[in-house]
Structure 1
């Protein structure tokens, strides 16, 4: 059954309670490569409960429920095979620093359906509030192959002008062979990231890393390198998933300072710098 855009957009928002603990935060941080070296004071703020700071990208897994991609496929008007789905991009805006322990209300709805010709793109927006007010808003862009070409709205372009000049900083972050297996314990059990047979059916030689794992690794690199390790300085973070990453590869993260923001480009070092994240911006104080 194709996507019914009108039904998806008209559906009532889905609301539920989510909660998380320091253990969930620590597991997420380990899943994106924190804790190396294990005794480094800069890493202990991600792994030790007595000094725990929460990287804002934790918002993408807080509550441990289905991630944006899988959650979006269960919305009214959306009935597609998981093997034809990819996470196309993610945007996150935080209203205030995330607590290490919390209970909040999450409200999700499809806010846009774009026809890109060979594919459709669903935008799933989730707004999260707790007793003290808004915490964060996230937009997951869900790319569904074979669901375009029906004459719908193409939507706005998300492409940005490439930064010019040499990057201010370039860092490399290795990805463990078991990185996807560890990251999925934060709630994203899509078999594309663990099951070789499913990955082949989806058109990949082997399981690929979660896009949101790369997303988190990249934000951590920016915070640690250009923001003095201060997670509270992040205001928003947007990225387009431009290519896949395989466990065992190395991320090359290039960063350009701008007024109140950092532009970022991420590539796979071993594959001739094949693009991984593009149109990536971290806005900060």
Structure 2
């Protein structure tokens, strides 16, 4: 079996130094659409956008943690861990959970410790949970869990794991916004460190079962968090405490995201769909916890 669950779980954690600058933060923000708000007449110079793009006013959207250090350990790095040997074309990003311990600095150096925290047998697929804990001299910064879905690698009789499905939010959403995805969005976003050819190479995308390259799930993840922060949290990135989602479907560059938001006691519930494909689900079971 290409995935040896016992070996993967028993492997020693990998520890390494990561570093980032304000330029990396700005590049990430541009990769998730900052400076291109469709509901603003002059988006590139609007103060609400300059906090993401101008170094003298820079705030760090917490989802930057998923790429800090030029793509800190995540989906692709998890496939090189002991006990894991799979075909990249069978791999999809199943979900993401980010817990923020302190506001992210605009530049810094930190230690990232990564390990396979869980391996689940879903029958026709396996799910790996790649956990990365990041700390600097001041203490813990964030904990990042990437759920890696590997098609065709289940069925060995292992633990199925907990269900990530939540009851859909009831009632009409408090806010609904739409965010266009540029045709070159994936090409720009991948410069932050995710070089999976699925998002750029048409031939590779066809081998993986898609009609053309798809947008990174984490790009949709970042675009969605930015919409929530800008719309319901007054643009204050420091209010975010955690952010989790399940990737329910793909997004193609050039499409439009419809982002529905419900205020709840446990935070903001969110559902994201692709407008042009009859509101096909994109992100589900999504919660942004905040102060």
SS in 1 for 2:123: coil
Q: Let me know the Cα RMSD of the aligned residues.
A: 0.7
In the alignment, which residue of structure 2 is the partner of 1:7? Answer: 7
Cα displacement (A) at 1:259: 1.6
Alignment of 1:1-285 (within 5 A): 1-36=1-36, 37-65=43-71, 68-285=74-291
Cα displacement (A) at 1:2: 1.6
The C-alpha deviation readout for 1:21-54, integer Å capped at 9, x for no partner, is: 0000000000000012101100000000000000
Q: Please, what TM-score do these two structures have when normalized by structure 2?
A: 0.97
Distance 2:68 2:115 in 1: 17
The C-alpha deviation readout for 1:94-116, integer Å capped at 9, x for no partner, is: 00100000000000000100000
Segments of structure 2 that go 5 or more residues without pairing to the other structure are 37-42
In the alignment, which residue of structure 1 is the partner of 2:39? Answer: none
The C-alpha deviation readout for 1:188-245, integer Å capped at 9, x for no partner, is: 0000000000000000000000000000000000000000000000000000000000
Tell me if the contact between 1:67 and 1:188 (Cα under 8 Å) persists in the aligned partners. Answer: no
Q: Please, what TM-score do these two structures have when normalized by structure 1?
A: 0.99
What is the total number of aligned residue pairs between the two structures?
285
Runs of 4+ displaced beyond 2 Å: none
The C-alpha deviation readout for 1:52-101, integer Å capped at 9, x for no partner, is: 00000000000004651101001000000100000000000000100000
Cα displacement (A) at 1:150: 1.0
Distance 2:77 2:290 in 1: 29
Segments of structure 1 that go 5 or more residues without pairing to the other structure are none
Q: In the superposition, relative to structure 1, how do residues 67 and 201 fare at CA in structure 2: closer, same or farther (>3 Å)?
A: farther
